[in-house]
């Protein structure tokens, strides 16, 4: 399995505190030693730092922990391989362009018998993971449903992704985080939670390493920051736990909408 | 304008020496201060480090200069903006997936009146540059010509890219480097050169900063490494200068084929 981390914020915000906690799970407090990656959106552009080395000892992860890249949307993943060898091409997040935006995605879980139902033509996976195949299938399904131009209203797009995710969930465990650089969506199969921090800000203490932050010192009163994670990263705050089949859509740190999907068949999409 | 750097090698090789020379041109010995990027292929996977900050002072560039990532194909670019603001989404190299491989590309030059002749549907640019639009058009043209599956023989694909590049060149200056992770292709409009290093290896001295390397200490007798650059990076070696319209295709450090294209019309592709 793996661990997911994502952020949506209304001002460019660095994720050093949360990533420091996550990276410990890549070999110190957790067994996720088979690579890691993090995608930062800055405007429409993004950049992904990846390493097949464990996050707890990676030189690139050290850079991320010491160099505060400020971003409104971040997606990160540390990997414990199940399907696909420990190689860079199997390391999340995965990115593809759709409708003139970079879409990035990471998955926690495992799918079975997915090749035929998740077959794609236009978006093909580069590595060997079920995760990347599911991402390609999601994007190809969006093109099939909405065409070559982005709809003006993006909410129906994410509602449709929730339906598609519910179909994928029938093939196994499918916790995922996904963004086009503006919206952050998550979908829960069995393990996903989030917290939205806003004024009055307090202090937070990481569970995985002995670090405390006083957000009051680091923020302005108007800041709104949502963090999504597989398991809570801090021990002294209340994290919202998602239900199986539940999804949430965030923008600029705020919850826009969400719902709970029923398990559904894969016959049509 | 900008400066290009690429490498093709028959063993995973680090590019720290050449990148150190290039990075100096991003603010010290050259005026290319509007961002930089470098893509390393490791197997089928790749990772791109990008920064909108000048390469001479970028913290991420410092990591690249101190952390030898070994790769068989590298593509790099430092930018002096002409079309498109100084933003991450306008920073080369650009990457898209085609035929289950990541294709990466960087461009030096400037195009005019390109929107209509290089219009695309399936691959859309995310930023505002002529460079990214030309890349999207190249890939879309490959799908139109060869279909959804990669041809078994890739040489005709690169011969076709050379014809397409010659068409783009009619719109302005189009020096480019491009790779699918196995092949490295370059196309010269007015400024591109390369050098192939093999045994017996000697020493090389950077032009842009006071660094000398003894490749004999760093290599084995079977190593073959080709470096492509806008202008020679070393002062004591003989670099091959490409002619206008000339292209070369490398794999595992060795020159596979090439040719000189005539300027051609854009009416059909």
Tens-place pLDDT, residues B209-224: 888 888 888 889 999 9
CA distances from A108 to A77, A88, A251 (A): 8, 17, 22
d(CA B109, CA A63): 32
d(CA A159, CA A179): 14
Position B1 confidence tier, pLDDT thresholds 50, 70, 90:
low
Phi, psi of B56 (to 5 degrees): -70, -20
Q: Has residue A14 got a pLDDT over 50?
A: yes
Q: Has residue A32 got a pLDDT over 90?
A: no
Q: Has residue B65 got a pLDDT over 90?
A: no
Pairing of strands B94-98, B101-108: antiparallel
- For chain A, list the domains and their CATH numbers: 2-260 (3.60.20.10)
So which residues of B are the catalytic ones? Answer: 2
d(CA B166, CA A168): 45
Mean pLDDT of B20-36: 83
Could you count the other beta carbons within 10 Å of the beta carbon of residue A84? Answer: 18
d(CA B168, CA B161): 10
Instruction: Answer for the pair A11, A215: CB distance below 8 angstroms, yes or no.
Output: no
Instruction: Answer for the pair A155, A254: CB distance below 8 angstroms, yes or no.
Output: no
Do A50 and B47 lie within an 8 Å CB cutoff? Answer: yes
Which chain B residues have a beta carbon less than 8 Å from that of A95?
95
Mean pLDDT of A239-264: 94
- At residue B264, the pLDDT reads 54
- Select the residue of B63, B87, B122 nearest A148 (Cβ to Cβ): B122
Give the mutation candidate from A12, A16, A38, A44 for the B interface (greatest B CB count, under 10 A). Answer: A44
- Select the residue of A44, A89, A148 nearest B89 (Cβ to Cβ): A44
Position B267 confidence tier, pLDDT thresholds 50, 70, 90:
very low
Do A127 and B44 lie within an 8 Å CB cutoff? Answer: yes
Residue B106 C-beta-side C-alpha neighbours within 13 Å: 30
How does pLDDT run across B34-53, given as a tens digit for each residue? 889 999 999 999 999 998 88
Do B100 and A67 lie within an 8 Å CB cutoff? Answer: no
* Token pair for B64: 């690249």
Q: Which of B245, B95, B240, B106 is nearest to B177 (CA)?
A: B106
- At residue B219, the pLDDT reads 87
- Tell whether B101 lies on the interface with A, counting CB pairs under 8 A: yes
CA distances from B236 to A132, B97, B173, B198, B266 (A): 46, 39, 29, 15, 41
Q: Has residue B237 got a pLDDT over 90?
A: yes
- Select the residue of B59, B97, B121 nearest A123 (Cβ to Cβ): B97
Do B88 and A45 lie within an 8 Å CB cutoff? Answer: yes
For chain B, the farthest-separated pair of C-alpha atoms sits apart, in whole angstroms, at 52
Do B43 and A88 lie within an 8 Å CB cutoff? Answer: yes
Is residue A2 part of the annotated active site? The answer reads yes
What Rg value do the Cα atoms of chain B yield, rounded? Answer: 17
- Tell whether B83 lies on the interface with A, counting CB pairs under 8 A: no
d(CA B77, CA B107): 8
Contacts of B255 (CB under 8 A, 6+ apart): B196, B226, B248, B249
Q: Has residue A1 got a pLDDT over 80?
A: no
């Amino acid at each position: 399995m793996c661990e997911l981390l994502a952020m949506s914020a209304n001002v460019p915000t660095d994720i050093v505190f949360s990533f420091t906690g996550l990276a410990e799970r890549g070999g110190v407090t957790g067994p996720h030693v088979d690579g890691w990656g993090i995608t930062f959106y800055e405007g429409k552009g993004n950049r992904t730092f990846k390493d097949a080395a464990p996050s707890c000892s990676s030189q690139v992860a050290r850079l991320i922990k010491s160099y505060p890249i400020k971003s409104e949307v971040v997606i990160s993943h540390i990997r414990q391989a199940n399907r696909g060898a420990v190689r860079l091409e199997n390391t999340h997040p995965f990115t593809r362009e759709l409708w003139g935006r970079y879409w990035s995605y990471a998955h926690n879980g495992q799918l079975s018998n997915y090749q035929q139902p998740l077959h794609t033509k236009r978006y093909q996976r580069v590595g060997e993971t079920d995760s990347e195949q599911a991402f390609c299938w999601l994007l190809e399904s969006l093109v099939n449903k909405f065409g070559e131009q982005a709809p003006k209203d993006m909410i129906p797009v994410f509602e449709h992704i929730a339906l598609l995710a519910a179909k994928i969930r029938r093939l196994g465990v499918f916790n995922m985080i996904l963004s086009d650089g503006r919206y952050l969506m998550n979908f829960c199969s069995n393990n996903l939670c989030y917290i939205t921090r806003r004024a009055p800000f307090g202090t937070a203490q990481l569970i995985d390493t002995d670090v405390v932050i006083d957000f009051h010192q680091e923020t302005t009163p108007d800041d709104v920051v949502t963090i999504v994670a597989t398991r809570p990263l801090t021990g002294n705050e209340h994290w919202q736990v998602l239900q199986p089949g539940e999804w949430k859509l965030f923008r600029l740190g705020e919850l826009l909408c969400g719902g709970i999907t029923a398990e559904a068949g894969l016959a049509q999409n």
